[in-house]
């Protein structure tokens, strides 16, 4: 798996002038565009302290989820020759793609930390919860990664469907805009039932500002967080079962 991770990094940035720097530049460039449009022109987040950091953290976490699932989606097909020649556990291929995404996340979180220091954001005690929130995102991303990579072997349309879902998910998740921008409380509740929306809001609350609206505040009950965590676990279990079922046919279908 270690070798697969190294190879993945080399192939991804092969022929690129900036090379590995793109793992940092992509989310930063996206953040810069969104910051100019939504903060400078549309004046979003004026009521939220350190909104640029708030926005950057949301972009970084969504980028992690998107990178992990997109890289994993075609990972089995891309390693078809390896699967046909060598008997290796199929799941290690998907896991190697997830490890690459985790490394990128770590680098991007360092950038967030640097911006927090420059902006003089106070280090909150609740930041200790951040590793658990990141684990929640990793669990649901891994579940989707297993589902997508196995399904893509049989149905190549999966990549187009997932692209549309990710586009819709990006705008349906409060990344560009504060949740307080939505005045309809019922719509706020619907959005926060999405585990990614709940996790991003919790991460912002833990790390940036306590003025972030969380699922506990919107529903008035901390038990609602268990619902989204349950969805994450259900997606992971479904992914493991489906991947295990399809893995025996990978060599035939590739």
Residue 187: phi, psi to the nearest 5? -70, -35
Q: How many helices (H) and strands (E) does the chain have?
A: 13, 0
DSSP 22-73: HHHHHHHHHHHHHIIIIIIIS-TTTTSTTHHHHHHHHHHHHHHHHHHHHHHH
Q: Helices 158-172 and 130-154 meet at what angle, rounded to 10?
A: 150
Whether the Cβ atoms of residue 38 and residue 31 lie closer than 8 Å to each other: no
The parts of the chain modelled with pLDDT lower than 50 are: none
What pLDDT, in 10s, does the model give residues 112-170? 998 899 888 888 888 999 999 999 999 999 999 999 999 999 998 999 999 999 999 99
What's 1's DSSP letter?
-
Q: Cα separation of 93 and 112, whole Å?
A: 29
Whether the Cβ atoms of residue 124 and residue 207 lie closer than 8 Å to each other: yes
pLDDT of residue 21: 67
Residues 6+ away with beta carbon under 8 Å from 54: 45, 48, 178, 204, 208, 209, 212
For residue 144, the enclosing domain spans 2-253
What's 176's DSSP letter?
S
- This prediction has a pTM of 0.89
pLDDT of residue 103: 87
pLDDT of residue 19: 56
Q: Helices 195-207 and 51-73 meet at what angle, rounded to 10?
A: 140
pLDDT of residue 81: 79
Q: Which sign, positive or negative, has the C-alpha torsion 96, 135, 34, 28?
A: negative
Q: Cα separation of 64 and 103, whole Å?
A: 10
pLDDT of residue 148: 96
Domain count for the chain: 1
């Amino acid at each position: 798996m270690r070798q697969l991770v190294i190879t993945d990094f080399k192939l991804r940035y092969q022929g690129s002038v900036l090379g590995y720097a793109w793992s940092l530049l992509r989310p930063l460039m996206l953040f810069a565009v969104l910051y100019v449009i939504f903060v400078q022109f549309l004046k979003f987040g004026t009521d939220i302290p350190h909104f640029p950091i708030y926005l950057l953290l949301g972009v970084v976490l969504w980028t992690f989820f998107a990178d992990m699932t997109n890289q994993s989606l075609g990972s089995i097909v891309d390693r078809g020759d390896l699967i046909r020649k060598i008997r290796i556990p199929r799941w290690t291929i998907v896991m190697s793609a997830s490890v690459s995404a985790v490394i990128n996340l770590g680098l991007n979180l360092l950038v967030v930390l640097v911006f927090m220091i420059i902006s003089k954001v106070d280090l909150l005690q609740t930041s200790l919860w951040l590793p658990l929130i990141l684990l929640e995102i990793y669990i649901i991303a891994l579940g989707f990664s297993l589902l997508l990579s196995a399904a893509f072997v049989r149905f190549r349309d999966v990549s187009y469907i997932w692209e549309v879902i990710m586009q819709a998910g990006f705008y349906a998740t409060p990344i560009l805009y504060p949740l307080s921008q939505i005045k309809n409380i019922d719509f706020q509740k619907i959005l926060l039932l999405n585990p990614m929306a709940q996790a991003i809001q919790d991460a912002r609350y833990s790390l940036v500002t306590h003025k972030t609206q969380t699922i506990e505040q919107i529903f008035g009950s901390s038990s609602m967080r268990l619902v989204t965590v349950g969805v994450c676990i259900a997606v992971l279990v479904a992914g493991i079962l489906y991947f295990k079922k399809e893995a025996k046919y990978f060599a035939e279908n590739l």
